[in-house]
């Protein structure tokens, strides 16, 4: 298997951006899974424009499958006094796969201050059972992620509440906490609506909107606490909200996803 750090180091400069070939152990079925695609786009943006301020938000559209040799094309959309907007297209053998708009913004003096809610008390990661023991074989990327159940329901358990809470970290022990590997982890949990189902089915994330709550990306022993909760489901689509805390319970990221549920 290819470690996350080695995979990111294999990205090379191409004529119009960057290129990378993702090994099969990082795939979800026939495509790179969404979190990794988003992380690759961020890595390409940071390499292309090395003087970027902290990331504040991102809007990500998963348009099609990403496989084979991938090409990443970062473009500076606008640069102001404190903010930089960067667009990144990720394309594979089947064409455009992922399109991301990143908003980077330098800090500024402000009287406005509102602390994000801390995480509810949770057991230490080691106290919870493994979360991905029964993961379907086509979710090969989960071999790289260690997960522990921290509350809520399990996928396909027929639960009444569409909510899951789990600890996640990369198995690559050489990684230091930073935004690129965190972005890959934050899409690791199954969609919350899966907790209400009783049999596995095809589920695919369509869009993902991210807001960073701090520019300090740090945690203990690589662990991040992630809660995902569906707030609506109809007509084959579900909307869900997700929050990421570090091991000390400090909120780092909040996001929203629209997910297609087939069958």
| pLDDT tens readout for residues 219-235 | 999 999 999 999 999 99
Domain residue ranges of the chain, discontinuous segments joined by +? 1-106, 117-263
Strands (E), 64-219: 69-79, 83-92, 95-105, 145-152, 163-170, 203-212
Q: In whole angstroms, give the CA distance from residue 42 to residue 154.
A: 30
Class of domain 1-106: alpha beta
Phi, psi of 243 (to 5 degrees): -130, 140
Q: What is the pLDDT of residue 56?
A: 98
- Asked whether the domain spanning 117-263 has the same topology as the one spanning 1-106, the reply is no
User: Once rounded to an integer, what is the mean pLDDT over residues 128-135?
Assistant: 86
Q: What is the pLDDT of residue 225?
A: 97
Closest by Cα among 96, 95, 65 to 87 = 96
The tens digit of pLDDT for each residue in 168-214 reads 999 999 999 999 999 999 999 999 999 999 888 788 899 999 999 99
Length of the chain (residues): 263
- Report field, pTM of the whole predicted structure over 0.75: yes
Residues 6+ apart with CB under 8 A from 188: 35, 142, 145, 147, 168, 226
* Number of neighbours of residue 34 by Cβ within 10 angstroms: 27
Say if CB 136 and CB 23 are below 8 A apart. no
Going by pLDDT thresholds of 50, 70 and 90, the confidence category of residue 91 is very high
5 or 112, which is more confident? 5
Is the Cα torsion angle 161, 136, 35, 74 positive or negative in sign?
A: negative
The CATH architecture assigned to 117-263 reads: Beta Barrel (2.40)
Percent of the chain at pLDDT > 70 equals 100
List helix spans (H) across the chain. Answer: 4-9, 34-48, 179-186
Q: What is the pLDDT of residue 8?
A: 97
Q: What's the mean per-residue pLDDT of the chain?
A: 94
Percent of the chain at pLDDT > 90 equals 78
Closest by Cα among 147, 149, 128 to 188 = 147
Going by pLDDT thresholds of 50, 70 and 90, the confidence category of residue 137 is confident
User: Once rounded to an integer, what is the mean pLDDT over residues 54-69?
Assistant: 95
The tens digit of pLDDT for each residue in 23-50 reads 999 999 889 999 999 999 999 999 999 8
Q: What is the pLDDT of residue 136?
A: 81
Going by pLDDT thresholds of 50, 70 and 90, the confidence category of residue 245 is very high
Residues 6+ apart with CB under 8 A from 21: 10, 68, 69, 70
Q: In whole angstroms, give the CA distance from residue 105 to residue 57.
A: 9
Asked if residue 163 has pLDDT above 80, the reply is: yes
Q: What is the pLDDT of residue 134?
A: 77
């Amino acid at each position: 298997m290819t470690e996350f750090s080695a995979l990111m180091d294999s990205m090379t400069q191409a004529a119009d951006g960057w290129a990378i070939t993702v090994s099969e152990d990082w795939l979800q079925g026939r495509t790179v899974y969404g979190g990794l695609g988003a992380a690759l786009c961020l890595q390409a943006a940071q390499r292309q424009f090395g003087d970027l301020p902290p990331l504040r938000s991102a809007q990500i559209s998963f348009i099609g499958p990403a496989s084979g040799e991938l090409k990443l094309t970062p473009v500076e959309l606008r640069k102001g006094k404190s903010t930089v907007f960067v667009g990144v297209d990720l394309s594979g053998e089947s064409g455009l796969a992922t399109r991301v708009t990143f908003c980077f913004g330098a800090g500024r003096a402000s009287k406005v201050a509102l602390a994000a809610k801390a995480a509810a008390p949770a057991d230490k990661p080691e106290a919870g059972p493994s979360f991905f023991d029964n993961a379907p074989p086509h979710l090969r990327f989960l071999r790289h992620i260690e997960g522990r159940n921290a509350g809520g329901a399990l996928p396909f358990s027929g639960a009444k509440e569409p909510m899951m809470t789990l600890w996640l970290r990369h198995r690559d022990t050489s990684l230091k906490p930073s935004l690129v590997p965190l972005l890959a982890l934050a899409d690791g949990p199954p969609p919350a609506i899966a907790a209400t189902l009783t049999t596995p089915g095809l589920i695919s994330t369509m869009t993902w909107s991210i807001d960073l709550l701090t520019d300090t990306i740090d945690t203990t022993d690589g662990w991040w606490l992630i809660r995902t909760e569906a707030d609506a489901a109809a007509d084959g689509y579900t909307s869900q909200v997700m929050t990421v805390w570090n091991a000390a319970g400090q909120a780092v990221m909040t996001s929203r996803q629209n997910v297609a549920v087939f069958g």
